[in-house]
Amino acid sequence: MPQLSRRKVPLDLTTMLNFQDTLRQIYWVRKKRNPKYSLRAYGRQLGISHATLSHLISGQREISPKTLERLAPRLGMGPDDLESYKQGLRRATMNKTKISFVKEEVFQLIQDWRHDAILELLQTHSLLSQDSMAGKLEILRTNLPANLFETKQMVRRLQEQGAVDQNLQVTPDWENSTNILSSEQTSAAARNYQADLLSLSQTALEEIAIENRYHTSLMVAITAEDFGWLKKEIQNFRRRINRKITAKKSSKPSSKPSQKLDVAILQFTGFPLSKLMSRETLK
């Protein structure tokens, strides 16, 4: 039976809600590297059927300590990792915690930033003025790191969740809805989303000319109370920027109508640096 690499899986167990989150993350990381990678192949490597694996990932079937002991070594996890997950299972049992899981498709929708990029592109003049479905898909494909199959798959996922209609128009209800990343159910997917963007930011720092990017930071000394106020200020700033961009992107360009679109990310990051560095020092 095929064995997975014994190399230790680079996961931060302190940010994982449970073993299902880990199974999902590993699967989607491999899926990104190889779009043809399937649950069937993943199941073969773990020594379980793809149907059982699907139930475990979606939360339809709970992970037992016995299953945990069987799968953890095949994911390259050591005794410490295994014990951490066992403790998590015991805490959940003691507290009678019922964890609510989202469907696999919704999890992927939230954690992959390209879905947000598609929603942005669909509201630009280039897409709004395109009548052909094939033409719209081609514009999306050329402006995303995705092939045509992946593009269609992501569009279908957005349609199934009510974000986009059959004519590839962003639905009004979705435009006015609360950001999906705010859901507590999807915290693991949201972490994956942000981690992916941070990785892309580092790549941009190294590979994109400075005139085509903007990286800056501000070091401040604040209290926990200040941090709550600062988050609100950033949220208000995001709303103002978004209103201006929304008004601009749907209007007909005044010049260079053939200019290629770019999907850009404006990322705001704030965290208690002193506390993080203190924890690193104690290790």
Residues 77 and 199 in one domain: no
> Is the residue at 7 inside a domain?
no
Residues 48 and 162 in one domain: no
- Do residues 171 and 161 touch, judged by C-beta distance below 8 A? no
How much of the chain, in percent, has pLDDT values that exceed 70? 72
> Is the residue at 3 inside a domain?
no
Task: Read off the pLDDT band of 138 (50, 70, 90).
Answer: very high
Rounded to two decimals, the pTM is: 0.51
pLDDT(3) > 70: no
**147 SS3 class:** coil
- Residues 6 or more apart whose CB falls under 8 angstroms from that of 19 comprise 63, 68, 71, 85, 88, 89
How much of the chain, in percent, has pLDDT values that exceed 90? 4
Residues 183 and 277 in one domain: yes
Q: What is the total count of domains within the chain?
A: 2
Q: CA distances (Å), 113 to each of 42, 217, 251, 279, in order?
A: 23, 23, 24, 30
> Is the residue at 226 inside a domain?
yes
pLDDT(102) > 60: no
Give, as one character, the DSSP assignment of residue 164: B
> Is the residue at 2 inside a domain?
no
CA-to-CA distance for 108 and 154, rounded, in angstroms? 9
> Is the residue at 5 inside a domain?
no
Domain boundary among 40, 68, 94: 94
Q: Facing residues of 164 across strands? A: 170
> Is the residue at 110 inside a domain?
yes
Q: Which range has the worst mean pLDDT, 2-16, 142-156, 164-178, 263-277?
A: 2-16
The full DSSP string for 9-21 is P---GGG--SHHH
Residues 21 and 79 in one domain: yes
Residues 248 and 135 in one domain: yes
Task: Read off the pLDDT band of 103 (50, 70, 90).
Answer: low
> Is the residue at 242 inside a domain?
yes
Q: Facing residues of 170 across strands? A: 164
For residue 34, how many C-alpha atoms fall within 13 Å in the half-sphere facing its CB? 9
Residues 121 and 258 in one domain: yes
Residues 117 and 167 in one domain: yes
Residues 191 and 214 in one domain: yes
**Residue 137 CA to chain centroid, in angstroms?**
22
Q: Which range has the worst mean pLDDT, 78-82, 105-109, 127-131, 267-271?
A: 105-109
pLDDT of residue 106: 66
Tell me what the mean pLDDT of segment 131-146 comes to.
89
Residues 146 and 79 in one domain: no
Interval 149-161: pLDDT, tens = 889 988 988 888 8
Residues 114 and 251 in one domain: yes
Domain boundary among 43, 64, 94: 94
Residues 122 and 184 in one domain: yes
> Is the residue at 152 inside a domain?
yes
Domain boundary among 74, 94, 114: 94
Task: State the residue range of the domain holding 34.
Answer: 13-94
Q: How many residues does the chain have?
A: 283
Interval 59-76: pLDDT, tens = 677 778 888 888 888 888
Tell me what the mean pLDDT of segment 108-119 comes to.
81
Residues 73 and 202 in one domain: no
Q: Where are the beta strands (DSSP E) in 97-249?
A: none
pLDDT of residue 134: 92
- Do residues 35 and 147 touch, judged by C-beta distance below 8 A? yes
Q: What is the CATH number of the domain that holds 67?
A: 1.10.260.40
CA-to-CA distance for 66 and 224, rounded, in angstroms? 42
